[in-house]
Amino acid sequence: MARSSLPQLNAETPGILRRTVAPAPGIVHLGFGNFHRAHQAVYTDAAVAAQGGDWGIIGISSRSSAITDAMHAQDMLYTVVEISPEGSTFSTPRVHTDAFVAAEDPQRVAAAIGAETTRIVSLTVTENGYTYSPATGSLNVADPDVQHDLANSSVPRTPIAQIVRGLQQRARTHGKPLTVLSCDNLADNGHHTQRLVREFASLLPTAEAAETLRWIGANVTFPSSMVDRIVPATTDHYRSLVAEQLGYADQIPVPAEPFTMWILEDNFIAGRPAWEAGGAIFTDDVAAYEQLKVRLLNGTHSLIAYLGALSGAATIPDATGIGYIEAAARHVLRDEYLPSVTVPAAVDVEAYEEQLFSRWRNSALGHRTSQVGSDGSVKLRQRIPIPALEMLDAGVMPHYLALTVAAYLSCIAPLRGFDPGNHANEMQDPARETLQELAAGSGSGRDLAAKVLGEHHLLGDELATREDFIRRTGELIDVIHRQGPLAAASAAAES
Ligand code: CS2
Predicted confidence (pLDDT) per residue in 211-239, tens digit: 999 999 999 999 999 999 999 999 999 99
**Paired residues of 29 in beta bridges:** 59, 122
Using CA of residue 442, residue 400, residue 295, residue 469, what is the dihedral sign? negative
CA 191 from centroid of its chain's CA atoms: 16
Q: Which of 297, 375, 411 for a ligand 1 pocket mutation test, highest count of atoms within 8 Å of Cβ?
A: 297
- C-beta of 230 in contact with ligand 1 (< 6 A): yes
Question: Span 449-465, mean pLDDT?
Answer: 96
**Which atom of ligand 1 is nearest the CA belonging to 372?**
3
Span 262-309, pLDDT tens digits: 999 999 999 999 999 999 999 999 999 999 999 999 999 999 999 999
Residue 21 confidence (pLDDT) above 90: no
Confirm or reject: Cβ of 58 under 6 Å from ligand 1: no
pLDDT at 276: 98
Instruction: Please say if the pLDDT value at position 6 is more than 90.
Output: no
Say which DSSP state 353 is in. Answer: H
- Does ipTM come in above 0.90? yes
Query: 1 falls in which pLDDT band (50, 70, 90)?
Result: very low
pLDDT at 19 over 70: no
- Span 86-98, mean pLDDT? 93
User: Do 387 and 339 contact (CB within 8 A), yes or no?
Assistant: yes
Please tell me the pTM assigned to this model.
Answer: 0.94
Whether residue 231 contacts residue 254, with contact meaning beta carbons closer than 8 Å, is answered with: yes
Give the atom of ligand 1 at the shortest distance from the alpha carbon of 374: 3
Q: At what angle do helices 106-114 and 159-172 cross, to 10 degrees?
A: 50
For residues 385 and 380, what is the distance between their CA atoms, to the nearest angstrom?
8
pLDDT digits over 391-411, tens only? 999 999 999 999 999 999 999
459 lines ligand 1 (CB under 6 A): no
Strands 261-264 and 25-30: unpaired
Which residues are CB-neighbours of 172 under 8 A, at least 6 positions away?
none
- The overall average pLDDT reported for the chain is 95
The contacts of residue 179 (CB under 8 Å, 6+ apart) are 119, 120, 121, 220, 221, 222, 223, 267, 268, 269, 270, 272
